[in-house]
Amino acid sequence: MHVEHWDTNREGPLSEEALRRRLEARGYVVTRYVYPPGTYFPPHTHDVDKIDAVLSGRFRMTMQGHTVILEAGDTLVVPRGAEHDAEVVGDEPVISLDAVKIR
């Protein structure tokens, strides 16, 4: 499980537009979601390759026995068929860009 962190020196200030452009350039269709505190997605899979990207808040993700907490500017590749769960951590909502690979 590899988390990519936003590099302000290389990519400039983090913004929704900039993160969306980066994901779309990799061939993904991007949708914005806001998850309130307490949101939990139990273990599940997807039939597409995805990237979960966080604009604000903290999102705990567990996949393949490993757990990470994604924060602003972090992205995590979730391969097709990989079982994972996710949970908003803390009192702040998570603003997320959900990216699905175009085939």
Within 10 Å of residue 75's Cβ, how many Cβ atoms? Answer: 20
User: For the segment 13-66, what is each residue's pLDDT rounded down to a tens digit?
Assistant: 999 999 999 999 999 999 999 999 999 999 999 999 999 999 999 999 999 899
Return the pLDDT at 37.
97
Return the pLDDT at 100.
97
SS3 content of the chain, % helix, strand, coil (to 5): 15, 50, 35
The CATH code of the domain that includes 78 is 2.60.120.10
Q: Report pTM.
A: 0.93
**What is the number of domains present in the chain?**
1
Q: Could you tell me how far CA 62 lies from the centroid of its own chain?
A: 12
- Closest alpha carbon to 75 in 1, 11, 8: 1
- Give the residue-averaged pLDDT of 74-97: 97
Whether residue 103 has pLDDT greater than 90: no
Return the pLDDT at 1.
84
Q: Domain residues for 80? A: 3-101
- Closest alpha carbon to 102 in 32, 33, 23, 45: 23
